[in-house]
Structure 1
Amino acid sequence: MNLLETTEERHFRASVRDWMQQHLRGEFEPLRHAGALGAAGNAAGLVKRWEQQLAAGGWTGLGWPRQHGGRDLPLAHQVIFHEEYVRCGGPGRLGHIGETLLAPTLMAHGTPELQARFLPGILAGQTYWAQGYSEPGAGSDLAAVRTRARLDSVQGDWVIDGQKVWTSWAHEADWIFVLARCEPGSVRHKGLVLLLVPLRQPGVSLRPIRQITGESEFNEVFFDGARAEGTWHLGAPGQGWSVAMYLLGCERGVSTLGQQAHFRRELDLLLTLARQNGAAQDPGLRQRLAEAALGLETLRSHALRTFGEKADIRAASISKYAWSNWRRSLGELAMEVLGAEGDIATPDPIRQAMQQLWLVSRADTIYAGSNEIQCNLMAERALHMPR
């Protein structure tokens, strides 16, 4: 990855910035710098209209091949878009799961019929997806999934029974991809299938999970005889584990630079607060603030170094372990900079943001694979150590 931008790349960055300034206003002004769904100003209906506005502007599917309706832009242009999107105040993306996780997996493991069926809705910002992986007894240990799927010999549909948990935005999604056990008696990584399942059907029920922040981003999803068409699976039945791992490898895509741009804004707010309340004069806190800035630059360098490589769960594990620890530490540092103010409800937007950072970041080292699981994956798959 060349860190020196060409004239063309600088022009592209300017075009992203100009488009965002022209469109993230009026109706969409409340979304500026909005976080997760449910946060102030971040209403689901408005977010979906924003996703469709992005699609109409040609800002979805930037790296997709043209044969699938994408723009097939170079990696550097994709990085620029995700960075500028966040810098200009772009809200959290409801279409992220479909566009950056499912779509590449569909292109790699889906039939042409499935690609034609599902990719256009994702590209247009009109179809939203949730990820059905974790279960009450199979959170970080994904291979322990117990949700079952069987083929109905009469109708030819998959019939699904089980439960998923910690399912982000399922209450606003239209579809969910579900890792389920399709071979009776199979254990661990064998006998799994990755199914594409409509959420709005009999046999599917959702229960929001209230978080410490007061929001309900996550859900429990229950399947009681839910159905998916017999051909709606990625890869061959029984080979779902390899497909699921490919999908997880997509989590380290260029959108991680957008995530890091969001982290940069959080760090900048913390630095502003430290200057305002005098915490920056404390040598110990000042040193830790500097270390946080250096740590963020390291995350960026790692992301740029690994972009363009084949989706690899090892690199994804390293990235997830690194950023989650960094952000959790930033949340702890934010509370120390706040001092006694951290325990007081306040209308001040910067102090509110820092309190929210601390609450949200407590889960970073748990969701999407806990630290312990990431360390196991790195030891076994990168260092080839025995179990």
Structure 2
Amino acid sequence: MDFAFGPEDETFRGEARAWLAEHLPGEYTRGGWERELGAAGWIGLGWSEDGYGNRTASLTQQVVWAEEYARAKAPARTGHIGEKLLAPTLIAHGTPEQKARFLPPVARGEELWCQGYSEPGAGSDLAGVRTTAVRDGDSYRVTGQKIWTSLAHEAGWCFVLARTRPESARHHGLSFLLVPMDQPGRVEVRPIRQLTGTSEFNEVFFDGAVARAEHVVGGEGNGWRVAMSLLGFERGVSTLAQQIGFARELGQVIETAVATGAADDPVVRDRLVEAWARLRTMRWNALRTLGGSRTAEPGAPSVAKLLWGRWHQELGELAMRVRGAGAAVGPVDWSPREPYRIDAFQHLFLFSRADTVYGGSDEIQRTIIAERVLGLPKEPRG
């Protein structure tokens, strides 16, 4: 498939750009911005189901919207987990009743979601999940701990991978449950303070939390299949928008290198050129993947993750190098009333240390490519 933008896409681009220019100067709460997007029909572009409040958009128009949103430096989304992960999963595996209940509020920006996958001891190795869900009449009682749960402190719902068959092991006997977060005494959220000083990640503790039986997606015991399907949706059109942000960061690093004289060093110049070339390669690879079948080869998401994770981490290291010794100290207007303040480059460096771990570590991505793409023998498991 020739992935190119046509006249209709450029008309769509103009509409998106104009809407963003008109609405971004406004003052919004985080939830208010989601509702503003939903009211204008910008949530759920390209959903294959009709009647859930989203506008029709081709794949190229979805890319256009993602790119324009990134270029406009619009606020970080709080609803992206519901829109980009839960919604496609429900469309693929949910019942008509589940779709009718959960998709419209996501499309309107009214219900926020978080992802209950990783646990202590079961992060990249997701099959080691120990959280349990025990059937209790017409509901399940969920007990266990999740970690690195993005935006759990703001979410009203969590899709949870839990073990519904206690005698099962590994990827067998797991189920994908939709769990309400507003259950005082049964659901506790503890923010995790990071190196950057922020705490968008959380620990979540479930102590007999209730999930209704009709809110099991894909049927009991089929959670692994549903969970793996969701991970395939995690890296799609949003990858291209992510690269717009990467390009902006790279531009700032280049400007700083020139201003500080670091660009006079041939080694630094070589690394800057290499970073630019690798970013272009990532874009072409993403366009090629999207331009083919939507059910791309199994290793495509893993290849993309390996490319951008290592690249972004190395950009953070390069940002520190071009800043020189000043990269090791805080802002010049530091105040004891704000004891933890870092600038944009320091944030880039510190946060990117996790890029090769979260979302599936590099080791796991290489194993997926080796086993599912290259057909190499599976790694022995203890």
TM-score between both structures, scaled by the size of structure 1: 0.92
Residue 2 of structure 1: how far off its partner (Å): 3.8
CA distance in 2: counterparts of 1:324 and 1:4, whole angstroms: 26
Shift of the 157–352 alpha-carbon distance from structure 1 to 2, 3 Å rule, reads same
Three-state SS of the structure 2 residue aligned to 1:53 is: helix
Aligned partner of residue 159 in structure 1, secondary structure: strand
Partner of 1:169: 151
- The answer to whether residue 6 in structure 2 is matched with residue 9 in structure 1 is no
Q: Relative to structure 1, is the Cα distance of residues 4 and 179 closer, same or farther in structure 2, using a 3 angstrom cutoff?
A: closer
Q: In the TM superposition, what are the counterparts of 1:1-387 in structure 2 within 5 Å?
A: 2=2, 4-28=4-28, 46-65=29-48, 66-153=50-137, 156-202=138-184, 203-307=186-290, 308-310=293-295, 314-346=299-331, 352-387=343-378
Is contact 2:306-2:356 (8 Å) kept? yes
Which whole-Å CA distance do the structure 1 matches of 2:7 and 2:159 have between them? 41
Provide the C-alpha distance between the structure 2 equivalents of 1:163 and 1:227, rounded to a whole number of angstroms: 15
- Once the two structures are superposed, what CA deviation does each residue of 1:330-371 show, in whole Å capped at 9, x if it has no partner? 1111111111010121259xx921111001100000111111
Which runs of no fewer than 5 residues in structure 1 stay unpaired? 29-45
Deviation at 1:5?
2.6
Q: Report sequence identity in percent.
A: 54
Higher mean C-alpha deviation, range 125-134 or range 17-26: 17-26
Does the 8 A contact of 1:245 with 1:313 survive in 2?
no
Give 1:170 deviation, angstroms.
Answer: 0.2
Local SS of the residue matching 2:10:
helix
CA distance in 1, matches of 2:296, 2:103: 19
- Separation in structure 2 between the aligned mates of residue 295 and residue 77 of structure 1, nearest angstrom: 25
What's the CA shift for 1:168?
A: 0.4
SS at match of 2:343: helix
Mark the CA change 1:347 to 1:298 in structure 2 (over 3 Å): closer, same or farther. farther
- Quote the Cα distance in structure 2 between the aligned partners of 1:17 and 1:111: 36
Alignment root-mean-square deviation, CA: 1.5
In the alignment, the residues of structure 1 paired with residue 95 and residue 6 of structure 2 have an alpha-carbon distance, to the nearest angstrom, of 38
Letter in 1 for 2:150: S
Query: Residues of 2 paired with 1:287 and 1:347: CA distance?
Result: 31
- How many Å separate the matches in 1 of 2:193 and 2:213? 35
- 1:25 partner letter: P
Q: In structure 2, do the counterparts of structure 1 residues 9 and 53 end up closer, same or farther at CA, with 3 Å as the change threshold?
A: same
Once residues 278 and 260 of structure 2 are traced to their aligned partners in structure 1, the CA distance between those partners, rounded to angstroms, is: 24
The structural deviation recorded for 1:119 is: 0.4
Query: What is the SS of the residue equivalent to 1:171?
Result: coil
> What is the identity, as a one-letter code, of the residue corresponding to 1:26?
G
State the SS of the aligned residue for 2:142: strand
- Residues 176, 196 of structure 1: 8 Å contact kept: yes
Deviation at 1:57, TM superposition (A): 1.8
Range 239-248 or range 262-271, more displaced: 262-271
Say if 2:119 and 2:147, in contact at 8 Å, map to a contact too: yes
| CA offset digits 1:9-56 (Å, max 9, x no partner) | 22221221111111110315xxxxxxxxxxxxxxxxx12111111112
Q: How far apart, CA to CA, are the structure 2 residues paired with 1:347 and 1:23? A: 34
Structure 1 letter corresponding to 2:80? H
Q: 2:102, 2:237 → 1: CA distance?
A: 22
- Which residue identity lines up with residue 19 of structure 2 in the other structure? W
Alpha-carbon distance in structure 2 between the residues aligned to 1:299 and 1:377: 19
**Distance in 2 separating the partners of 1:267 and 1:200:** 41
Letter in 2 for 1:194: F
CA distance in 2, matches of 1:248, 1:193: 15
User: Offset of 1:312 from its aligned partner?
Assistant: 6.1
Provide the C-alpha distance between the structure 1 equivalents of 2:147 and 2:97, rounded to a whole number of angstroms.
30
- Contact 1:252/1:315, CA 8 A, preserved across alignment: no
* Conserved? CA contact 2:160–2:178, under 8 Å: yes
Aligned residues: 366
Aligned amino acid, residue 74 of structure 1:
S
Report if aligned partners of 2:158, 2:179 keep a CA contact under 8 Å in 1. yes
One-letter identity of the residue aligned with 1:367: Y
Contact 1:183 1:238 in 2 (8 A): yes
What is the CA–CA distance in structure 2 between the aligned matches of 1:352 and 1:326, rounded to whole Å?
A: 20
